[in-house]
Amino acid sequence: SQQGEEDPQALSIQEGENATMNCSYKTSINNLQWYRQNSGRGLVHLILIRSNEREKHSGRLRVTLDTSKKSSSLLITASRAADTASYFCATDVVRNSGYALNFGKGTSLLVTP
Amino acid sequence: DTEVTQTPKHLVMGMTNKKSLKCEQHMGHRAMYWYKQKAKKPPELMFVYSYEKLSINESVPSRFSPECPNSSLLNLHLHALQPEDSALYLCASSQDSGRGRPENEQFFGPGTRLTVL
């Protein structure tokens, strides 16, 4: 089962606008990561936030984490057409004899010129 | 070199064929992963190798057989697949803390687009 659930499922904005995506999860985590995937290609790591962190920045990206609400948000500021992609949050979960990443359902972002 | 390579890019196979997917990384990562991704869905974990040993098998059918010949290579052997196995197969690698916990980012390859006829 998927640990993370993103919303919205799809988001359409114009260039220059900000895009906000949210992720909720169910169990305790060690860290939460955000990945981007361009259509039909591999995933690219964007940012990792640890459970003892509340906010993290990387360029035009801002991630927040609220462990009390078991939620995270990804903000992309001043969006560009090149930001068009699917965005997934991923949490680390215990799986049988080890640990793995569990990806949420993703948000499909369309940025129009 | 921060790249994970996967071959082939595309593969079409019949249900009676035997084929293999290959993945390679030269970043010194000791954890490697296979994921399956259907269209408009998130990646689903299939297998995890840690220090060349299989540490997680997500109850994947035996028609998928992983192999880790050395720390840089990961194979996925395919035999008697079904049409519903058609998907994008992604390989990834990451540093391993020694406890198998994914505390670091995963680096993904571009994937192999598999079609089973």
Q: How many CB atoms lie within 10 A of CB B92?
A: 27
Task: Classify each residue of B33-50 as buried b or exposed e, where b means 16 or more C-beta atoms within 10 Å of its C-beta.
Answer: bbbbbeeeebbbbbbbbb
Cβ contact (<8 Å) for B56 and A102?
no
Least confident residue range of A1-10, A29-38, A70-79: A1-10
**Within its chain, how far is the Cα of A74 from the centroid?**
6
Averaged pLDDT, A94-106: 78
Q: What is the pLDDT of residue A6?
A: 76
Residues of A in contact with B108 (CB under 8 A): 35, 42-44
For position A7, what pLDDT does the model report? 80
> By mean pLDDT, which of A64-73, A81-90, B87-96 is the weakest?
B87-96
Q: How many angstroms separate the CA of residue A34 from the nearest CA in chain B?
A: 9
Per-residue pLDDT tens over the stretch B76-101:
999 999 999 999 999 999 886 555 55
CB A104 within 8 A of CB A89: yes
pLDDT for residue B50: 87
Residue A2 has pLDDT above 50, yes or no: no
A11's CB contacts (< 8 A; 6+ apart) are A19, A21, A107, A108, A109, A110
Residue B117 near residue B16, CB atoms below 8 Å: no
Dist CA B34 CA B111 (whole Å): 10
- Going by C-alpha positions, the residue among B87, B107, B103, B75 that lies closest to residue B44 is B87
Contacts with A42 from chain B: Cβ below 8 Å: 4, 90, 92, 108-111
Q: Are strands A10-14 and A107-112 parallel, antiparallel or unpaired?
A: parallel
Using an 8 Å Cβ cutoff, are A9 and A107 in contact?
A: yes
A2 or B88, higher pLDDT: B88
Q: Are B91 and B32 in contact (CB under 8 A)?
A: yes
**What's the rounded Cα separation, in Å, for the pair A20 and A55?**
14
Pair of tokens at residue A15: 């260039």
Between the two ends of chain A, the Cα-to-Cα distance in Å is: 36
Q: A23-45: per-residue pLDDT in tens? A: 999 888 888 999 999 988 889 99
- B113: chain A residues, CB-CB within 8 Å: 40
Contact pairs from chain A to chain B, CB under 8 Å? 69
Spatial separation of the C-alpha atoms in residues B45 and A66, rounded to whole Å: 26
Q: How far apart are CA A82 and CA B22, in angstroms?
A: 30
Which pLDDT score is estimated for A1?
35
Per-residue confidence band for A101, with pLDDT thresholds at 50, 70 and 90:
confident
* Residues contacting residue A76 through CB under 8 Å, at least 6 positions apart: A18, A19, A20, A60, A61, A83, A109
Residue A65 and residue A53: Cα distance in Å, rounded? Answer: 7
